[in-house]
Amino acid sequence: MDMRVFDLFKIGVGPSSSHTVGPMIAARRFLLECPNLDQAHKVQVALYGSLALTGLGHATDKAVLLGLMGETPQDVAPDTVDDKLAELAQSGVMHLLGRVKVDFDILDDVLWHKKEVLPGHPNGLRFTLTRTDGSQHSQTFYSTGGGFIYTEEELNTNASTVAVPAVSVPYPFGTMAELLAHGKSTGLSLAALLRANELSHCSEAELDAGLDKIWAVMNSCIERGLKITGELPGGLHVQRRAAKLWLTANETHNSLPHDGMHKVSLYAMAVNEENAAGGRVVTAPTNGAAGIIPAIIKYYSQDCHPSDPVKGIREFMLVAAAIGMLCKKNASISGAEIGCQGEVGVACAMAAAGLTAALGGTNEQIESAAEIGIEHHLGMTCDPIGGLVQIPCIERNGMGAVKAITAASLALKSDGTHHVSLDQVIETMRVTGFDMQAKYKETSLGGLAIHVVTVNHAAC
């Protein structure tokens, strides 16, 4: 496995890991690797397929511009983005990586190829830089979900730009069966196996600090989302609901058994409202599904009354990451490639597995929880209205969080035996996704995106 936990959990900004985070990373990388950048005269970016079809709603154009300026998803301040882009639009001058000045016209230099899909992936983009002597340098990138990017060459050789250097780990795995076999031969939990692998790359203190930072950003996103009201950007006139519903939930007596689940849903929705507003979020494993894992971690730490919540949260995240790695490697976490089953479905499985681990479940129970989480999202389409990560995305995170708890509960109350393995259901998800018509895979050409009339639908 050529991924680490911090490849799955990356700090970034909304509204999309594949359409915002990935393109921003690709733009910056293009310039960093461009020969003779100081001689630049002009730069253009062409967006293809899903990036072109839903790019306006997903802020792909804005992300690319920020990346060309040298910004990174983890460091750009969300509150400064509008001012940076307004200055560019007014001046018509771009400072590549913050230092090389070129003329730039947003209307002419960002090209939208909505009817053309590049061969490697539905999310393709191509950068072309022209130098003062007329010579050019071009590079094609694919944004494959979760902020992962590949050049055309890397995609063909299956080499990730974010993959860790070739380091021997004690427990290599490419399937859940292999991971379970390591557990049986060593007597170690899945969390311990993943921890041992991570310690091949960093110290224990560095690993724990990284995990704690990821949770701190996730929790901060929940807290912010539970306080802010108002209308989300994009033209759908969607009102934030999490804050008002949270206030109501805390003002009234929780008299019904499902009131606890209501709060979990609000945690998830708070995150995805922040994501829709372009706020600071963590890919888990994507932005579109970023609310599920934080919601379940908060549920675990507050409602499950763990004796050592810090240790439990770290184990949760390690095990959740293992499930995400398997889904990324053996299927996809890209809505543009296999639909929302690869985003909300995978996040649900990751959260279910993490919760089961944190509550002391066996390795077999963890696998069962993850399998249940994916199985009951099979076939879920990605059909965002108006190309915005709002409807049905925000509510889907709330529902996915509740389903994750249900999956963990079913697994923990069993002995871990089950008829369908996680490896089998991941392969089923992959095949189902590739059988799915393109109009249901983040193109806004089918499903809710065309059956719910919106003011800005034609524009997006």
Q: How many CB atoms lie within 10 A of CB 393?
A: 28
Contacts of 236 (CB under 8 A, 6+ apart): 385, 386, 388, 390, 391, 454, 455, 456
Least confident stretch, 79-83, 164-168, 358-362, 432-436: 164-168
Q: Is 156 exposed, middle or buried (0-12, 13-18, 19+ CB in 10 A)?
A: exposed
Q: pLDDT digit string (tens) for 9-43? A: 999 999 999 999 999 999 999 999 999 999 999 99
Query: What was the pLDDT predicted at 258?
Result: 76
121 versus 455: which is more confidently predicted? 121
Q: What is the mean pLDDT of residues 441-453?
A: 91
Q: What is the mean pLDDT of residues 410-427?
A: 95
Q: How far apart are CA 91 and CA 453, in angstroms?
A: 36
Q: How many CB atoms lie within 10 A of CB 196?
A: 15
Q: How far apart are CA 167 and CA 199, in angstroms?
A: 11
The partner residues of 282 in beta bridges, in order of sequence, read 11
The partner residues of 61 in beta bridges, in order of sequence, read none
Q: What is the mean pLDDT of residues 413-420?
A: 91
Query: What was the pLDDT predicted at 416?
Result: 85
Count Cα atoms within 13 angstroms, Cβ side, for 315: 25
Q: How far apart are CA 70 and CA 393, in angstroms?
A: 29
pLDDT at 163 over 50: no
Q: pLDDT digit string (tens) for 358-378? A: 999 999 999 999 999 999 999
The partner residues of 110 in beta bridges, in order of sequence, read 45
Q: What would the two tokens of residue 384 be?
A: 């965002």
Q: pLDDT digit string (tens) for 204-238? A: 999 999 999 999 999 999 999 999 999 999 999 99
Domains of the chain, with CATH numbers? 15-156 (3.30.1330.90), 176-451 (no CATH)
pLDDT at 300 over 90: yes
pLDDT at 456 over 50: no
Q: What is the mean pLDDT of residues 412-424?
A: 94
